[in-house]
A and B are shown apart, each in its own frame.
Chain A
Amino acid sequence: MAIIFRIQLMYPESTILSGQTYNEFITMHGTIMLFLAATPLLFAFMNYMIPLQIGARDVAFPFLNALGFWFFFFGGLLLSLSWFFGGGPDAGWTAYVPLSSRDYAGIGLDFYVLGLQISGLGTLISGINFIVTMITMRAPGMTMLRMPLFCWTSFVTSMLIVFAFTPLAAGLALLMLDRMFGGQFFIPSEGGNVVIWPHIFWIFGHPEVYILVLPAFGMISEIIPVFSKKRLFGYTAMVFATIIIGFLGFMVWVHHMFTLNLGPITNSIFALATMIIGIPTGIKIFNWLFTMWGGKLWFTTAMLCASSFVPTFVLGGVTGVMLAMAPVTHLYHDTYFVVAHFHYIILGGIVLGLLGATFYWYPKMFGHCLNETLGKIMFWIFYVGFHLTFFVQHILGLIGMPRRVNVYLADQGWDGMNLISSIGSYMQGVAIIILLINVVYSAIKAPDKPVNDPWDGRTLEWATHTPVPEYNFAQTPQVRSLDPLFYEKVHGDGTMKPAEPIGDVHMPNGSFYPFLIALGSFIVGFGLIMLHMDAWINPYIVVGIGAVLMFGSMAMHSWKEDHGYYITKENIEAMEQEALADERNR
């Protein structure tokens, strides 16, 4: 979709997309990228890595984990279905109210409201699950301040989810009442107030940005020490900087609304609060630099992504501070400068973090490394393409090109830079295709020689076998330090000491209920949307079926006792022997 915009904007007065389609595309681009692409990718890593990194057998609530996933899946499905029922939502990913009210926005926005409501529920459930996992299931000796930084950032992220997705759910519920049941929360002619929506949205929306970027920070903080052969510089400072960023993330939402005329004192307070965030972020940047300083650097693809993340993120941060200055924002507002700023954060921050983490953790997850040559080609094409796309957008914004437009006139000095920007976006597309080719290529080429610990890892996830057994650790490891595996490599014999004798491991049974519960919520959502369709069936019947399915499955799950099963000690010993023999044969 992003590439289609850039095709559209490559030449002035282009007519490939109509204004309406363009609006639907930008809305879906923003919504999908933030809620349905970045979030699940980060959550996948969190779900896989957190139990391994803290030495746990699984997350605290496996049932909730599945439930969260299926809610998320069906929410995304509901949102995407909008294309087949009268067009996607078209009010921007922020869905500001006069635009998103029944008078202006079509049925697509109903899909937006209910799809996000359901997928948000899934995210919330996963967030709670992660918090409980990290509080209750750490291995012996793994104190809070010995947790790997990826766990810490995920922890703060999960807290942000708990505190930020609840206002979003409330806001979406209000919008749903307005659109479907004749509420008047956001209709000024009937005593409502449209300004409340942007407030609620950004009380959620700004923490959401940190929800996405903090795990990326964590990934970078895992990759850089491993490939610098040094422990992370200023670990404690990193942890507290993360917490402070999380806290301040809630105190700055008005900086998205400086041009809403909220008054000078308000704007000054929020401008200052925004600039203060630069301090903990700066601490992090310097800590990454000092980690690399004097280290024995090893530039694999993962390290290339992680180290180039630092300057790119600084660029995004600097424009962020520029945007934080309330008076000047009146000039930047709604120009491409803003677009350039947040793409530097999202692509230069989150996507580079994700790419790095993919290359770093791929051998752990799939048993073989990704091809490094293809990886480096991908990285350079992506990196150059990314800067080509978005750097010129700063200048485009400063010379006045507004965002969210589908056409512009020729000879305003915008033509050349738009062309460059479009070419850059194709390069990014090519890079992602190379990554996909790499996945297939490596899968065909490499599985004969699985690797256990290819990067000389420092944290616990590299201490188990590859592929990871379903019980993660046969014996819970005893943690003696930060970077526990590295500590054992230096001071011990290179393996983790067990904290318990081998015994039976309790495992949860698989369950079909999470799927049914989420399917029920999906049917309820679809039934509510059908209220405004010419449906051949009474929508309330559909809502009823969905509700029965959802609450029925919940009740079934509550009443049917399921104690899980045990993997016996003998089985575990056999599996361990097999894994060890496997490793010796490599």
Chain B
Amino acid sequence: MADNLSEPFEKSAMTQEDQRKNREEQRIQYIAFAFMIVLTLLAFIAVGADLLPAAFAVSFIIVLAVIQMFLQLYYFMHLREKDHGWANTFMVTGLFLVIPTIVALMLLIGVVKY
């Protein structure tokens, strides 16, 4: 029995449904990947082309970075799939706590007193 272990299977063990889902998943990954490359190119162009004013370019690439981050987490790191509820909860909680803290801190240690 052990002799033919290295032989390939004739038919995949996955059901048709599984295979369809797999193909779908693959397609989504490709699209997300292409989209992320486009975003990165946009960021490079925004800075490198010297066309945009600096203030706009900085805020523009930060927005791009945020979009990138969500794409990475939710598509490449599979956070959008089920059974990732707790990881999601903790990440969102972390953002929920950290963003107000950092914004407040930036406002508070400035020269202007609010």
What residues make up the interface of A, taking CB atoms closer than 8 Å to B?
A: 135, 159, 162-163, 193, 195-196, 199, 203, 247, 250-251, 254, 261-266
Contacts and interface: CB of A to CB of B under 8 A. Distances in A.
B114 A263 contact: yes
B114 A199 contact: no
B114 A266 contact: yes
17 contacts: A159-B90, A162-B90, A163-B94, A163-B97, A193-B109, A195-B109, A199-B108, A199-B109, A203-B105, A247-B97, A254-B104, A261-B113, A262-B114, A263-B113, A265-B114, A266-B108, A266-B114
A251 B100 contact: yes
Which 7 A/B pairs are nearest by Cβ-Cβ distance? A263-B113, A265-B114, A263-B114, A250-B97, A266-B114, A135-B86, A163-B97
A266 B108 CA distance: 8
Contacts of A163: 93-94, 97-98
Nearest to A247: B97
A360 B12 CA distance: 59
Contacts of A247: 96-97
Given A251-B100, A262-B113, A199 B94 contact: no
A266 to B, nearest CB: 5
B101 interface: yes
Contacts of A250: 97, 101
A143 to B, nearest CB: 14
A247 B114 CA distance: 24
A327 to B, nearest CB: 16
How big is the B interface, by class? 10 to 19
A159 B113 contact: no
A254 to B, nearest CB: 7
Contacts of B104: 254
Nearest to A254: B108
Contacts of B114: 262-266
Nearest to B113: A263
Contact of A262 (B86, B93, B108): B108
Interface in B57-114: 86, 90, 93-94, 96-98, 100-101, 104-105, 107-109, 113-114
Contacts of A199: 105, 108-109
A203 B113 contact: no
A251 B94 CA distance: 13
Given A247-B96, A251-B100, A266-B114, 4 more contacts: A203-B105, A247-B97, A254-B104, A263-B113
Contacts of A266: 107-108, 113-114
Interface centre among B86, B97, B100, B107 (most CB of A within 10 A): B97
Contacts of B101: 203, 250
Nearest to A135: B86
Nearest to A199: B105
Contacts of A264: 114
Nearest to B96: A247
A265 B96 CA distance: 22
B27 to A, nearest CB: 32
Contacts of A262: 108, 113-114
Contacts of A265: 114
A163 B114 CA distance: 27
Nearest to A268: B114
B43 to A, nearest CB: 28
B99 to A, nearest CB: 11
A199 B105 CA distance: 8
Contacts of B86: 135
Interface centre among B96, B98, B100, B104 (most CB of A within 10 A): B104
A247 B101 CA distance: 12
Contacts of A193: 109
A264 B108 CA distance: 11
Nearest to A251: B100
Nearest to A243: B93
A196 B109 contact: yes
Contacts of A263: 113-114
Interface string B25-56: 00000000000000000000000000000000
B31 to A, nearest CB: 32
A163 B91 CA distance: 11
Nearest to B107: A266
A265 to B, nearest CB: 4
Contacts of A162: 90
A264 B113 CA distance: 8
Contacts of A203: 101, 105
A263 B104 CA distance: 13
A203 B98 CA distance: 10
A265 B107 CA distance: 11
A190 B98 CA distance: 28
A262 B93 CA distance: 27
B91 to A, nearest CB: 12
B34 to A, nearest CB: 35
Nearest to A263: B113
A578 B55 CA distance: 76
